[in-house]
Amino acid sequence: MANLVIVESPTKARTLTRILGNGTKVMSTKGHIMELSKDYPTREQRDKGWPVSGVNENFDPDWKPVYGSVKIINELKREAKSADQVYLASDPDREGEGISYHVLQILLESGISEEKIKRATFHEVTETAIKKSMEDAGKVNIPMVDAFIARRVLDRLVGFIVSKKLNSFLRLSRLSAGRVQSPTLSLVTDREDEINAFIPEEFWDINAVFSSNSERYQAKLFKLPGVSEKDFKINNEAEAKDIEEEIKSAKFNIESKKVTKRSSKPSAPYTTSSLQQDASSRLQMSPTNTMRNAQELFEGIDGQEGLITYMRTDSPTLSNESMKDIEYQIINSYGDKYFERRVYRARVANAQEAHEAIRPTSISRTPESIKNSLNKYQYKLYELIWNRTVASQMTNSLTEKTTLITSSANGEGGYKFKSEADKLVFDGFKKLIKSNEKYDELPDLTENQDVDLGEIEKEQKFTRGPGRYSQASLIKKMEEIGIGRPSTY
């Protein structure tokens, strides 16, 4: 056998087998093959007050085979001995590096030469990327392995102890806490305290319909006579009724008409957290469901090459090659006026930017062209990623906003109503990214033109306190304050 490639996923193994051909054997570890020991601390350790298993007093980890992985380990050893070259090709993150490290240690202990074992990393499961990574294969990234081990040890030292106390306190079992769960739980409980402490306050809105030459428009009261706009508030129904009676007897005209233009930029390509947030709000997919389907798209469907790049990333950057493909796609599909080359950088202060943004591996592979090969969740997620990636290199949209101020008297002495309407002048990136924005037009009125007052509507409202976190908004908050990483979201 010429080469042996070892990956962590059976799905990825099938895809690589098809891409690399019969001359290369691809095997899967089926996830982690080693884990920290869960044996209880020795009596001597317990006497010293050492509280956890799997880590000794010198913080050295004690690794044991994952349950059921002994057979896999033996098969890996046997196949590696007969291979000319062994490539460790697990995912390019800390967990993947940890898997490769453990396979490396097992193979070295079985007598296989280190020169025979190489680490290959790729961020997309395509023939070009895989073969290039094997040509450029090097060694296991030990600093990343150290980070992987440190987190596992920290989870055991902190998470297991906190979880044990938590379960004892609540008289429950199997509750998990630790370096990510605990501060995140604090966010949730702090928000719940804010919600419970909030006292709603009553206020009233007044809307009116005005007309001129049979053209009607609706406006909202925003200023009272002798009261500044920032102090505007109608506190109760009695006040609202008094104001309504005064408005009925007033004469109104157009105090001002203002037309402004506003351009909107497209969002950056997806990172892990922004994909989870958008999938939650647009597709009603939970972060767990989003990542499961993203993993399937990354590894390839039915043995075909991967459809998206690696989905655990905090970087919004795109490769030069992919940007050229996007440029061609936009110009060919929509015309030159829709293309604008853009370069994005991470906004999160501690972003590693080790990978590209989440993007399709081939821009020419449109969602419609592969719809029949995907289930509905995979298709919706792929469409979301494809649209966002292409839109990130499109021109701004242009909106024209018209604001009418209808007043019973110019200056500070009158009742003033405001009407606003947005008109889409140029769609730009919004040709791909649909929004909930509503576009409308107001009647063509001029300043000082008299208008007639029609129906008046009073509406009781109450101030709203903070809402509970959704999974998406909680992930956004975690990212903002530096809790967790893309893999933990």
Catalytic residues: 310
Say which residues have a Cβ less than 8 Å from residue 107's Cβ, sequence separation at least 6: 76, 77, 80, 86, 117
User: Residue written as tokens 């998470």?
Assistant: 159
| Residue 173 CA: distances (Å) to CA of 164, 169, 170, 183 | 8, 10, 8, 20
**Inter-residue long-range contacts of 37-45, CB under 8 Å, 24+ positions, other chains counted:** 37/62, 37/63, 37/64, 38/64, 39/64
Per DSSP, the three-state class of 50 is: coil
> CB neighbours of 172 closer than 8 A, spacing ≥ 6?
none
- DSSP at 230: G
Residue with tokens 């509406």: 459
How do 252-264 and 202-212 pair as beta strands?
unpaired
Contacts by residues 367-370 (CB-CB < 8 Å, ≥ 24 positions apart): 370/307
Rounded to the nearest 10 degrees, the angle between the axes of helix 287-299 and helix 10-20 is 20
23 residue type, one letter: G
Q: What is d(CA 294, CA 276) in angstroms, rounded to the nearest whole number?
A: 10
